[in-house]
Amino acid sequence: MKKSEIKLLVELDADNIPSKITWDADDKDTPGPLETNAINLNIWDHENRNTLRIDLWTKDMPVDEMKRFFIDTVGGLAQSILNSTGDEYMAAETNELCDRLVQYLKEEEKKGS
């Protein structure tokens, strides 16, 4: 059986706030660790029927990028729902939420200009 390892390394500052996040994976296209500003890790606990979550972002990640990251994450979940279950309704509803959130960010950006 093939195995693939995914590694996450989080460096914390003196206040235990992430200052640097790197990741690596055996099956990644480019060799060596890459830096990122945020990660979401969700693990399904089938015994308790709930989700265990880790959300981390570096202290230097801009808020607008954080919001886009969350929208992209939800959009990716919409595709996962469609691919894994074939549920077109759930996927469409999730994508519509993402569209509304993108519009909201555009409006907020106009207000800030």
Q: Exposure of 94 by Cβ count < 10 A (0-12 exposed, 13-18 middle, 19+ buried)?
A: buried
Residue with tokens 């569209």: 99
Instruction: Calculate mean pLDDT across residues 29-42.
Output: 94
Q: Which helix (H) or strand (E) holds 24?
A: strand 18-25
57-71 pLDDT, tens digit each: 999 999 999 999 999
Q: Which helix (H) or strand (E) holds 34?
A: strand 34-36
Q: What percent of the chain has pLDDT above 90?
A: 92
Q: pTM for this one?
A: 0.84
Q: Give the Cα separation of 55 and 38 in Å (integer).
A: 8
